[in-house]
Structure 1
Amino acid sequence: MQDIGTDQDAVTGVGFDGEPSKQELDEIDREMPVILAEVDLLDARIICLDRVPSELDRRRIRRARRRLLAARRALADRPDSGEAA
């Protein structure tokens, strides 16, 4: 009986060591403010899942949403973002 399996090099064309490249790490670092703002917004929303949101909760969500929008805008405005303006 012959084992059936894939050869990683045959599938991808290059060896994959399982670690992110320097370029991928730099991209993650550049996007980190957006990622953290998304986490803050998610945390604010999770707090309100099991109760009726209070005025404080609504303000917390609004602030988190504004921080997320500002972080996204800052990322899009960066000249090295790689996106067309």
Structure 2
Amino acid sequence: MDHIVTVQDAVTAFEPWLEPTDSELAAIEIEMPLIRADAELLDAQIMTLDRPTNELDTRRVRRARRRVLAARRELANRTTTVTTSGGAA
């Protein structure tokens, strides 16, 4: 006879220690503009999959790519500023 055993992770999936920490939530909040820009780019690319692209679609994708690049640049500059501003003097 086989015994049915519950999986421990499934039973404790909602334990408080599995929740993100405050520092992880802060990091997600800092990266949120990039996440939104990536989602907008993905939306623009998905809209062009099932039809021939026209000038408006091309512009939409181009603008979305520029937003992603701008968000990445701002995040990189912000990260560099945060890590280098607290250096040992």
Question: Which TM-score band (shorter chain)?
Answer: 0.7 to 0.9
TM-score (norm 2): 0.72
Q: Any idea what the Cα deviations from partners look like across 1:16-75, whole Å, max 9, x if unmatched?
A: 722100010000000000000000000000000101111000000000000000000000
Give the alignment's TM-score, normalised by structure 1.
0.75
Structure 2 residue 53 is the aligned partner of structure 1 residue 53: yes
The higher-RCO structure (CA 8 Å, 6+ apart) is: 2
Give the aligned residue type for 1:64: A
Moved over 4 A (4+): none
Residue 23 of structure 1 aligns to a residue whose secondary structure is helix
Cα displacement (A) at 1:76: 0.2
Q: How many residues align?
A: 73
Query: What is the RMSD computed on CA atoms of the aligned residues?
Result: 2.4
- AA aligned to 1:26 is A
* SS class of match (1:49): coil
Looking at structure 2, the residues matched to 32 and 43 of structure 1 have their Cα atoms a distance apart, in angstroms, of 16
Structure 1, unaligned runs of 5 or more: 7-14
